[in-house]
Amino acid sequence: MASFDKYLDEQLARGRAYFSRKEALDALGLAPETLAVAVSRLIRKRRLANPRHGFYLILRPEDQTSGAPDPVRWIDPLMKHQGIDYRISLLRAAAFHGSSHQAAMVFQVIVPKQLRAFEIGRHRLQFVYQAPHTFDKANHPECLAQMKSDAGFAKVAGVELTLLDCTRYFHRAAGINGVAQIVKDLGARANSRKLANLAAVYENSSVRRLGYLLELAGHLHQAKALEPFARKAKSVKPLDPSVKPLTASLASPLQKNPKWMLAINEPVEVDF
């Protein structure tokens, strides 16, 4: 179908390697059934990929081996297509800011809606849910950065937000040791005022874990900004809640950090 092929070439010429079903129907005046047949044919030929219903990626020859371009090139238009705000965070954001010890094998996006993970080609996208009221307070432009690609820009958590996200969702950020490494790598770059303001949005226990890890890594100025949150704590929480069962030895004062109100139930190891 020459007109459809021409439409795809025109999209690429505009630097736009994606389109929606509605956009194609409006531009070409095709019947929905005709477009569906054409799309299916090009998906089989690996000229198109379909990450979400009604949204398509146009694959250049260099994209066909991996099955899709890097998600940073199309996550922004995909989320706009779905009408959902977002931010790239966790391991991909940490790598963007300079902490690359943990390989970001999954492209992680924080959203205020429950979305299923999916794979497209060699890429796996994982959507981490954050309650809408918390997301709205955290996802302010001044707390975000921009990840640039040849296709434009995508929203990514700033340094402070990356640290808080990784500590809050540590089980998705290579565990407590993985987060400790990220904190060591990025902590010095965090703005203390911005970190404290953002911390007010997060669970107190997560903020205390971040404060402890910042202090452990020697980022004392940033850790000090989080001390007021520890003083509000009413109970001791484990450093790593995933370690169960907690052993009786944790009752020992030597196993507790009274400053951060944490039970240190997991040794922290980072690369120097």
Q: What is the pTM of this model?
A: 0.90
| Average pLDDT over the chain, rounded to an integer | 91
pLDDT bucket at 20, cuts 50 / 70 / 90? very high
Q: Where are the domains of the chain?
A: 2-69, 75-234
Residues 226 and 218: their CA atoms lie apart, in Å, by: 14
Please give the pLDDT value at position 264. Answer: 92
Please give the pLDDT value at position 103. Answer: 62
pLDDT in tens, 87-103: 999 999 999 999 976 66
Question: Which residues fall within 8 angstroms of residue 225, CB to CB, at 6 or more apart?
Answer: 192, 193, 195, 196, 199
Looking at the predicted structure, is the pLDDT value of residue 166 above 60? yes
Please give the pLDDT value at position 168. Answer: 97
Please give the pLDDT value at position 187. Answer: 97
Please give the pLDDT value at position 263. Answer: 93
How many Å is the Cα radius of gyration of the chain? 22
Domain 2-69 adopts which CATH fold? Arc Repressor Mutant, subunit A (1.10.10)
pLDDT in tens, 108-164: 999 999 999 999 989 999 999 999 999 999 999 999 999 988 778 999 999 999 999
Q: Are 222 and 190 in contact (CB under 8 A)?
A: yes
pLDDT in tens, 37-91: 999 999 999 999 999 999 999 999 888 888 898 999 999 999 999 999 999 999 9
Question: Which residues fall within 8 angstroms of residue 197, CB to CB, at 6 or more apart?
Answer: none
Please give the pLDDT value at position 96. Answer: 94
Please give the pLDDT value at position 152. Answer: 82
Q: Are 57 and 69 in contact (CB under 8 A)?
A: yes
Q: How far, in Å, are 1, 16, 36, 89, 181 from residue 32 at the CA level? A: 14, 22, 6, 37, 51
Please give the pLDDT value at position 254. Answer: 47
Sheet with 256-257, strands from edge to edge, namely 237-238, 262-263, 256-257
Please give the pLDDT value at position 64. Answer: 81
Q: What is the DSSP string of the chain?
A: -HHHHHHHHHHHHTT--EEEHHHHHHHH---HHHHHHHHHHHHHTTSEEEEETTEEEEPPGGGTTTTS--GGGTHHHHHHHHT---EE-HHHHHHHHT--SS---SEEEEESS----EEETTEEEEEEE--HHHHHHH--GGGEEEEEETTEEEEEE-HHHHHHHHHHTGGGTTHHHHHHHHHHHHGGGS-HHHHHHHHTTS-HHHHHHHHHHHHHTT-HHHHHHHHHHHHT--S-EES-TTS-SPPGGGGSGGGEETTTTEE--S------
Lowest mean pLDDT among 50-64, 184-198, 234-248: 234-248
